[in-house]
Every structure is written in C-alpha cells, then in structure tokens.
Amino acid sequence: MPQPPAHRSRRFILKGRVRKPKSPSESDEEGGMPPKKPRLAWQETWSSEGSSRPAEDSLLAEGSSPAAESSPAAESSPAAESSPAAESSPAAESSPAAESSPAAESSPAADSKDESQLLDPNQARKLCKDTSVEFIEAYVRGTEKDKEAQKMLFLSKICALCRTVSEKGLTLDLHAFCRKNKLVENIMALLEKEPMDSLRTEFRQKAMETIAVLSNTVPRALHGKKESLRNACYRSVFFLPPESDVPETERALYTKTMNAMDPMLAAFVRNCPTASISAELQNILEVLLDLAGSKNSTVCERAVRRIERLSDFILSHFVAKISDYNEKHKDSHKDLRELYIPILGQLLGYLFIVSCGTDSVSCTAFDALFRFYKIISDGRECSLTKDMESYAETHKSLKDATFPLIVMSFPCEIAKAFGGYLFPSERLDIILTALEALQDSSVHDKQGACSVLDTALEDPKYWLTDVPTIMEGIRKNLDTIHTASARRCLDSLLLQLTNLMSREEVKNLLQFSPPSDSTAMGMWEVVLAMPQTLQKVLNALMEDLPLRNWCTAVTEDTCIRRLAMLAQNHVSEEEFGNPVHLQSYLKHPSPEMRLMALKGLSTVSESPEKARKIQVVLPDILEALQDTNADVVLKALLVLRNVMARVERREAGRTALQLAEKLLPLFDHESSQVREHSICLFQAVTEAVLRQRKRALKRTVHSSLLPLYFRMRDQSESVAKASGEALVVAAEFLRRKELKHLAQTEQTCRIGECLLQQDGGRVEEYLQQSQPYLQDSQTVLRLEAVRFIGLAARYSGDQSEEKQNEIISVLRSSGKDVEPMVRCLAAQTIMILASRRNRTSGRRFRQLWCC
C-alpha cells in the first residue's frame, strides 16, 4: 500500500442554498450511482447495484421475511444470500438525512406490509441463535475458513444478523458480539488472502458490502479499524489487472466490485460522529489522492473514479442539509454549520492538471471538478472576502453558465473559474501541487501544471500570497525539474515571487541560501539574470544600513551579497572592494557557484577601472577555461574578452602568451559558442600584441594556423567566419603575405598547400595536429583531414618506407568511417601512398583497401 502524502491542513467551509435532489438523468453511467427514488426509511440512500441476484431474493429487499433467512436453502447456499449494501440502521432513520430525504417517506401500503411481517421477539431471538449467531461463532472458531462457500455464507450471516437485530428489536449487543468474535479482523484477514492478480468470485464485493452494513448498524465495531479496513480493500481491489485484460464475461464482476467500495466509503463518513466528518473525509481522500498519482494507469483511473463518486456523495448527502440548516438559522444567533476538507486545495490542484486530457481519467476528473465547483460556489456565497469577490467578478464569464463547456479548455481557465471561491491556503496548496507535478519523475502532464501556474502569474497578488512557502517549494523541486517548458515556467514564477518579496524576505533568502546548495544557486542564477529583480534585491541591501552591515557577520562562503553586487553595473569602488575574495567562489566545487561568480565578473568587467582590478584573479579565470562545464567556460571567455579590451596594451601583453596557450584547445570544443568565442578572443589577443611581435608568442601563433584552417570549414557559419578573420591576423603577425591573401579571399583549398610549402620544417608538426580531426564529429572536417594528411605525406622530409607505412596506418582508421565518402577518400589516398612506396622500394604491394 503506498504511503499517503503528508497533507497540508486547510479549511473548507460549506454554506449556501438548498440543493435539489439529483435527477435520474444525472446518474452515473457506469452504475456506481443509481437514480434517486423513494425508499423505505431503513434502506440505504446510496446503494451499489453490487448484487447479482434479483431484488426479491435479497435479504434487504422490501417484503422479505426472517422466515426466508432460516430456510434450508438460505443456510446451504451462499447464492441465496443477497447483497446488503443498501442496509441502514434505525439511527439513520432519525438522522437529518432521513428526515429531509424522500426515502424517509414510505407509502401506507408498504408500512402495513412491513408491520404484518413483524415476528414475535422471542421467535426472532431464537431465529438468530439457531442461524446467524450459531453459524458465525462456529465459523470463527473453525479451521476451514478458506472455502469460498463458507466465506460467502459467513458474510451473509453477518448481514442477516445486523438486519434482524436492527429491524426486529432484538436485545443482542452487536458491538460486544463483534468484538468477542473479532468479525472485523476476520473480514480483513480474508481480504488480505485474496489474490492480487485475479478476480474470480464475488467475495471482495460482498466483503465491502458487509463492512458498509456493519458501519450502518454498529459503527462502534469499526472504531480504530477503519484505516486498516480501507487499506485492505484498496490493496485487494485497486491493483487488480485492468478490465480490458479479463474475459468479457467477467467484466461485469469487475464493475460491481469497484462500485461496492463507494457505499462503503460513504457509510464510513455518514456514520462517524459529526465532529469527525472532516477527519474521515481527509483520511479517505489523502490515500485516494496518493493512489491517483500512481504510475499504474489502472490504479490511477480507479482512484479518480472513487474521488468522483465521493464528491457526488458530499454534494447529495451533506451540502443540501448544511445549506438548509444555514438558511433556516441565518437570522438567528446560532453558528452556521461548517464542513472542513483540509486537503481540498491539493485535491483541486491535482484535478485541474489531469482534467485537460481526453482519456477516461480526464473525463472523470472533470466530472469531479464540476461537483466540487457546485459545492464551493453555492456553499461559500456568504463567506467570500472582498478580494475573492473581486476576483470572481473579474472572471464572471467563467461562472456557472460557462464552466460545463471548459472541458475542452486548459486547466488555467478551470482554475480561474474556481479562483474566486478559494481561500488563500487552498490557492497555496494548488500552486505547491503544480510545482510537484513539474518534476521529471511526475506522471502528470507538465503542460497542465504549467497552465495552472500561468493562472497565478496572471494575477500574482491574488494567488502568490505566501511567498516564503512557495519559494521553499521551488527550492525543494528545482533539482528534479529539467524539462525545458517546465523550467521556463518555473523561472517566470521565481521572478514574480522576487518582485513580491519584502525586504525581510530578501534578507532571509540571502542569509539562508548557502552557495554550496546547487538548488539555491540555480534560483539565484534566475533572480540575478533579470535587471528588475536584481535591482530589488540590491536596493533592499543598500538602502538599509543594518542589512549592509549584516553581511560582514556572515562568512563569505555562505553569503550571496557579494555575488549580487557583482551583477550590478554601477557598483561603487568602495562597494566593489578587493576582488581577491572571489577566488573562493571561482574555485568552488559547485559549477553553479563558479558560474555565478563569473557571470557577476562579466558584468563588472565592462568598467575599465574594475576590469583592471580583476586582473588579480586572472589565473583563477584562466583555470576556469579548462572546466568541464561549457557554461562556465563561456562565461570565463566573456570576462577575459572584457578585460583584454579595457586594459592598456602594455598590461595586455603580460598575459597574452599564457592566455593564447589556454585558448588553442578550445578551438575544437564540442560547443560551437565556445569555439567561436575562443577564436575571437585569440584574434583579440594577437591584435593586442601585433606591434610588439613577442618571440615567445610566435610559436603559439604558428600552432594556431592549422586548427584555424580546419575551422574555416566548420558547419557553424559564425565559427567559420571567426576562424578566417583570426587566420588573417595570425598571418599578419607572422608576416605571411600569401597566407594572409588566401585567407582574406577565402581560397580554402589552397591554404593547406600554402602552409606545407612555406613551412617545410613544420610538416611533421602539421601531421600530428591533423590526426585528431580524423575523429571529429563533423564529416567535412574528417574529409579535409584525410586530404591534408595525403598532401602532407608528399611534403614530408622523411620519405622512408617506415614513415609511409606510419601514415598509411593512420589513414586506415578512416577506412571504417560511418560516411562512405570518408571511407572512399581514405582508400584512394592509401592506394596512392602505397603506389609511391612501391615505386621507391622497387617492390610490388598488393592493395587491401577498397571503397
């Protein structure tokens, strides 16, 4: 049995007009709710249609007599015993429900017929002793309890005993009898023995009907055992295979068994003390809601159906009576009656999300929503606050006349229709439920959850009243939400919340969001990304002297204030202080933390004065270029670009060599943005020292020529363009006029040969540099690598057979390339090189490679 979720206790108040009885046309199409019609007072208001036998054979049917119960046929055949789900106690006859219900009014003919069949008390007592009591006691003491006929007869005898005691006026203490013989415990034990993978008999149906009868007749017998009973029934019924997987002849049994749970749950609520109704509904709905979130679609559908049936019961049994009472006493000093459902907000949030589909679960959820809408819209007319009335008036077009048509609309429209009748605590629960539904592991529709949150974003002052609690909900779920649409919705919600935060809430968030918490850093990444929210956070810090001083009492590793200041364009020199303290952030093990620090530095480095100060942490920024996180590398490149652009040339020359060496490996980074920015920065560094032409930098620039040549063919146009421009600057730095001309005119096919002709001493280096491109992810670069290696073999100073074999061995790896063009070109190149080798050695060599 799944553990029920920890509920958030919320109040649900019902007040309003008298509710008319539900018409027969509104009855449930699956048979869970029969049409309302007058019945005798002892009959149950809500039956299950669970019995497969005709009414005249039922022990609870009108006109049945105890004599029929004591007949041999009744004792020997369980089939003769009928479903007692419609049974109720005399207490039910005198309840407000019985007084106000048409079922409480029987015809004179029926009354006379019932009276004529009353037995003498002595005869009834003897009947009980000889049949039901004796059999029940013998069954409980016996050892053969698993025989199907005996189990069914055991349940039937319990129902017969309850009926006889309640209707014929026997003096038997049923509570003591149930406790002595442990009837409830025996029923639970039998339910738990039922197989989970099949439904072969009516036992489960009969067991739930018997539990309902016990609840109606002797509710004290179930005291303290209802939860265990419900869980036993849930386990026994909800996890059965879907009806579509069973033979068609058995599907009716499935429907009847499922429907038998509804009157049992209703009986639990109806027969508990008035003060406990709220708790009983809460206990039932909590577990049903947990089951409704199951990844098993069959379990989910069955749980949602039970919620829908329970909502119909609440509407028909409680609301009209409470509304009638409140209408009668509205002018008196008596307190209006109230019904509390603490889990209502969480329940509505779930139903909003799942109601937007077209499957059976969505349709059932919408039916439940329609009933809850009738309940709260009628029941809260006298309880609306001014802001609720204003919201309801704003969305008047979505009221009663339109709500049934919203079945084809989005959850946001349904939420708006409900919104004017929901208290703040319930609106909060809806938001928190939607946040949980955004998690990657959630089975709920992410679009539906986003739609619910869109409702809150449209009117944040009405929906987002408890900012700290919602922020905590985001913090708890952020690490498990990665879907793009869900993150966008979450970011929008976070920004709205930040706008609504008070200075005190900002302070608390700053103080209790340690940088080591990746989730908190993710939240701050969003907050600091938007100027309006960043300004609000900084103003709260800067305008209040105690808040400014507060940061000094907190260690730098747990204070976000400095990072927030970095992202403000106009941070004063005094506030900026010594950037050395940033070293701990730049070396932090969390990539989110490093990213946050570099993002702040990229903004601060736009100021020439601050850019010069940042040079003190350049070694740490250079180390960030080797980070495995592409976002961190990209932010580091942006900071370095700003620094190099805003410092004097003399100062730039000091770090040019070290920076250039760090940039070369990034030319082949998997991220096209990193490739582009690293090449652009390399160009800027080369231009910065162009006039100085430092000898130490020449070797690095030489090493950049071949990678830039290859990247001129990059599939990313921006990378290819940046590579060509950088190659022009590199050629100018090395005073290579022909190479510069070819790069400027984009004569890519001639650049490779130009490099080999003019750099004869570097052919071996070029051969080594080109080999990794044989494994590049881009086909065009692998093709160019094969061509260049074949060309370099001609210009190699070492034309020995050993060297030729080495080059051929390198090319053979491309003979297994996934692209036929690469394989074919590699084979042709190998053939040419092998032919040259044969001519040189004078020996013939058989070719092994083909396209």
Please give, one letter per residue, the 3-state secondary structure of 513-576: CCCCCHHHHHHHHHHHHCHHHHHHHHHHHHCCHHHHHHHHHCCHHHCCHHHHHHCCCCCCHHHH
Query: Under 8 Å CB-to-CB from 68, ≥6 apart: which residues?
Result: 59, 74
**798 neighbors 792 (Cβ within 8 angstroms):** no
Tokens of 511: 């103080």
> What's the CA gap between 436 and 240, in Å, rounded?
28
- 247 Ramachandran zone, left/alpha/beta (phi>0; psi -120 to 50): beta
**251 neighbors 212 (Cβ within 8 angstroms):** no
What DSSP line would sit under 475-506, residue for residue? HHHGGG---HHHHHHHHHHHHHHHHH--HHHH
> What's the CA gap between 114 and 101, in Å, rounded?
20
The full length of the chain comes to: 851
Query: Under 8 Å CB-to-CB from 330, ≥6 apart: which residues?
Result: 336, 382
Tokens of 243: 């009806």
Query: Under 8 Å CB-to-CB from 677, ≥6 apart: which residues?
Result: 634, 637, 638, 641
- Residue 320: the pLDDT is 63
- Residue 379: the pLDDT is 75
> What's the CA gap between 711 and 705, in Å, rounded?
10
The alpha carbon dihedral of 290, 292, 297, 298 has a sign of positive
Question: How many other β-carbons are positioned within 10 Å of the β-carbon of residue 79?
Answer: 16
List C-alpha distances in Å: 768 to 36, 39, 701, 774. Answer: 88, 95, 16, 11
Strand partners, 87: 43
CA-based nearest residue to 89, from 163, 37, 39: 163
**439 neighbors 480 (Cβ within 8 angstroms):** yes
- 735 Ramachandran zone, left/alpha/beta (phi>0; psi -120 to 50): left
CA-based nearest residue to 698, from 668, 669, 736: 736
The one-character DSSP state at 382 is T
> What's the CA gap between 718 and 655, in Å, rounded?
26
Q: Which of helix, strand or coil describes residue 235?
A: helix
Report the chain's terminal Cα–Cα distance, integer Å.
Answer: 62
User: Per-10-residue mean pLDDT for the chain, 851 residues long?
Assistant: 43 40 38 36 31 30 32 34 36 34 34 38 51 86 87 92 78 84 94 89 95 93 92 92 86 92 94 85 94 92 95 82 61 57 93 85 90 84 85 74 53 89 94 93 86 93 91 85 89 86 71 56 66 65 56 48 56 60 73 75 77 81 90 92 77 76 93 95 86 76 94 94 94 92 90 87 89 93 92 81 86 89 91 74 39 35
What would the 3-class secondary structure string for 748-813 be?
Answer: HHHHHHHHHHHCHHHHHHHHHHHHHHHHCCCHHHHHHHHHHHHHHHHHCCCCCHHHHHHHHHHHHH
**H or E element, residue 35:** none
Amino acid at 782: R
CA-based nearest residue to 380, from 322, 425, 329: 322
**282 neighbors 342 (Cβ within 8 angstroms):** yes
**487 neighbors 527 (Cβ within 8 angstroms):** no
Give tens-digit pLDDT for 74-97.
333 333 333 333 333 333 333 333
Residue 246, burial from CB neighbour count under 10 angstroms (0-12, 13-18, 19+): middle
List C-alpha distances in Å: 193 to 187, 201, 203, 226. Answer: 10, 13, 11, 18
What DSSP line would sit under 665-694, residue for residue? GGGG-SSHHHHHHHHHHHHHHHHHTTTT--
> What's the CA gap between 743 and 737, in Å, rounded?
10
> What's the CA gap between 119 and 554, in Å, rounded?
85
Give tens-digit pLDDT for 17-46.
334 334 333 333 333 333 433 333 222 323
- Residue 443: the pLDDT is 80
